[in-house]
Amino acid sequence: MPIIYKYLTGEIFKYFAIILTMVVGIYVAVDFFEKVDNFMEAGLSLSKTFSYLILKIPFIVAQIIPLSILLAVLIVFGLMTKNNELVALKSSGISIYYFLMPVILLGVIFSAFLFFLSEVIVPVSMEHANRIWLKDVRKESAVMSKEKDIWIKGNRIITHIKHYNSANRAILGITINYFDIDFRLIRRIDAKKGVFIQNRWYLYDVAQQNLNKKDNNYKISFHEKIIEKLDFMPDDLMRVIKKSEDMSFRELIAYIRKIEAEGYDATSYRVDLYAKTAFPFVCIIMCMIGTGIAVRGKIKEGLPVIIACGIGIAFLYWISYSFCISLGYGEMLPPVIAAWATNLIFLCFGVLTLLNAD
């Protein structure tokens, strides 16, 4: 490996590690101080508190790797520009595209690492972190199986929900069992769908069974729509359902097939599935953009401008990415386009910055 490649690789890794450590430290500290009251009220031990924070670190790292690699590339090339090192290298006949090879190689490595982290580490760590938060801190009575069926235990009420559509605030495949003080079933409701409208749950296509205490028989009635007072809200369901980012690629595919086989809409999960493959490539794109901007020789004002430039680019990417994903959730864009559109836009921007770098 040429000396200049070793130098660039070592410097980018160094600044990447520094930025990643700083951002993770700030994020963990903010998260701790936001939730310290919840930890104290729940009487959570110090060891479990630290376990919860440590278990969230892989998820945090997965989110900020693209920003860290972009800032690292900008800082390294920015400092080389400020010290006229790039000018000296260019004057000796070295093209800026010569520097691109090790940077792109680093982008590929970080993309592979990000995919591995999101696929293998994050689902496991977030599952344990959510278990601590829900059971030990929030004292939630909801339990979620591997198939994402939701069980909620209330005051002599047990509710089973097959699927929760967060976009429409709708619950699908609902069964509600009511028990008396002797734990005898006195009422059962089966509904195809429930929607939360104006702080009330509306259940549709309902079959209701009520116990007649005189003869111990159940009277069955059918309704197109009823209003039922349930002891949970959409926000409660959002806390207990397993999100797409907490599932592995295979687990998400299996879940999509399962809910589609049951006749439910899986558009939002398909968007998330394609996003799992699209998002890791942002590392390569950020490496291209960072190199193209930094080697133009116009960033000489120092680190503040370099860092602000990098944060601005990352912010624009995240806004565009979130917007396209939202369009996918709303079925205004096909899932694959919603997931990859932002990458394609910023890839074109990266190529343009490199073409104009000389």
pTM: 0.75
Angle between helices 46-82 and 282-294 (to 10 degrees): 30
Name the DSSP letter for residue 216. Answer: T
In a domain, 143, yes or no: no
List, edge to edge, every strand of the sheet that includes 142-144.
Answer: 142-144, 150-153, 157-165, 170-179, 185-197, 200-212, 217-228
Amino acid at 44: L
Same domain, 15 and 134: yes
pLDDT at residue 214 in the model = 76
In a domain, 245, yes or no: no
pLDDT at residue 118 in the model = 87
The structure tokens listed for 280 are: 């890791």
DSSP three-state, residue 208: strand
Between β-strands 150-153 and 157-165, what pairing exists: parallel, antiparallel or unpaired? antiparallel
Same domain, 71 and 103: yes
Same domain, 86 and 204: no
Amino acid at 143: V
Same domain, 123 and 156: no
Same domain, 108 and 20: yes
Same domain, 268 and 344: yes
What share of the chain in percent tops pLDDT 90? 28
> At which of 208, 240, 272 does a domain end?
240
In a domain, 144, yes or no: no
Mean pLDDT comparison of 87-91, 126-130, 261-265, 301-305, highest-scoring range: 126-130
In whole angstroms, how far apart are CA 84 and each of 2, 210, 308, 355? 20, 83, 21, 21
In a domain, 31, yes or no: yes
The structure tokens listed for 230 are: 């349930």
pLDDT at residue 141 in the model = 53
Q: Which of 117, 147, 61, 60 is nearest to 249 (CA)?
A: 117
Q: How many domains does the chain have?
A: 2
The structure tokens listed for 145 are: 């199986």
Work out the average pLDDT over 112-137.
85
pLDDT tens, 330-354? 889 999 999 999 999 999 998 888 8
In a domain, 190, yes or no: yes
Work out the average pLDDT over 103-108.
90
DSSP three-state, residue 297: coil
- Give the pLDDT band of residue 110 (cuts 50, 70, 90): very high
pLDDT tens, 158-201? 888 888 877 677 888 899 999 888 888 889 999 999 998 888 89
pLDDT tens, 44-75? 888 888 899 999 999 999 989 998 999 998 88
Same domain, 133 and 228: no
Same domain, 19 and 82: yes
Burial of 309 (0-12, 13-18, 19+ CB in 10 A): buried
> At which of 216, 240, 264 does a domain end?
240
Q: 261: Cβ–Cβ under 8 A, 6 or more apart, which residues?
A: none
Continuous segment of H or E residues that includes residue 146: none
Same domain, 100 and 119: yes
Same domain, 71 and 167: no
pLDDT tens, 253-273? 888 887 787 777 778 888 989
In whole angstroms, how far apart are CA 276 and each of 240, 243, 299, 308, 314? 21, 13, 34, 28, 18
pLDDT at residue 334 in the model = 92
Of 282 and 169, the one with more pLDDT? 282
Same domain, 115 and 194: no
For residue 147, pLDDT beyond 50: no
Can you tell me the distance from the alpha carbon of 63 to that of 87, in angstroms, rounded to the nearest whole number?
Answer: 35
pLDDT at residue 111 in the model = 93
- Give the pLDDT band of residue 303 (cuts 50, 70, 90): low
pLDDT at residue 302 in the model = 62
> At which of 184, 213, 240 does a domain end?
240
In a domain, 268, yes or no: yes
Can you tell me the distance from the alpha carbon of 316 to that of 69, in angstroms, rounded to the nearest whole number?
Answer: 16
Amino acid at 323: F
For residue 155, the enclosing domain spans 149-240
Same domain, 107 and 10: yes
Amino acid at 82: K
Work out the average pLDDT over 67-92.
80
pLDDT at residue 342 in the model = 95
In a domain, 220, yes or no: yes
